[in-house]
Every structure is written in structure tokens, then in C-alpha cells.
Amino acid sequence: MEMGPQCDICFLDFDLDRHRPKVLPCGHTVCKACVENPGLGTKCPTCRKVSKQNKKYLIRNIVYRLMRVIILCCKQGADETFYMRNV
């Protein structure tokens, strides 16, 4: 069974909806659902660094963008390299 990129907190695979990958200011990536959990507080669960950044402004991870490209290519039967120019 092949596993894709997962959240460091809930260990669920990233997706394009509730479990979109989000990059914390320290560089670690967790899913949107875990970032929005008040229990997370202001510390990264991996390195424990405190973040003062508003959680709703966290950037999307490149994994999210690549997932969108792969899904689009699968739906249209196209080559990923064609779409990579627009990521």
C-alpha cells in the first residue's frame, strides 16, 4: 500500500479539502484541520517553536499545488509537465 504525504499531527493523507497542507512559519507542514484546532495553540507540534502569525494567513504548501496538478492531469489524461509551468 503506497502512502502519500501526511499531516504530522493526525497522520491523515493531505487532500484538497479539509486536510489541505499548510506551512507553519518554522517550515513544518500540517493539515488545515489540525491548524484550525484550538488545542494546537501557538506552537509547532514538531519543533515547539512559537508562531505569532495568524493561522488563516498560512501559505499553501507546494504539495497542495502538486496535488491539484496531478488531479487535473488525471481527469484530462494530460502529461504533468504541461501543467507544471502553471504551478
Residue 27 forms part of a structural domain: yes
At 12 the pLDDT is 92
Please report the pLDDT score of residue 61 as a whole number.
Answer: 61
Query: What is the Cα–Cα distance from 9 to 6, expressed in whole angstroms?
Result: 9
Asked if residue 51 is part of any domain, the answer here is yes
Domain assignment present for 52? yes
Whose CA is closest to 34, among 50, 47, 18? 18
| Whether pTM exceeds 0.95 | no
Structural domain count, the chain = 1
| pLDDT reported for residue 87 | 46
| Residue numbers in the chain where pLDDT is lower than 50 | 1, 86-87
Q: Which domain holds residue 31?
A: 21-61
Check residue 14 and give its pLDDT: 86
71 falls within a domain: no
Q: What local confidence, expressed as pLDDT, does residue 50 receive? A: 84
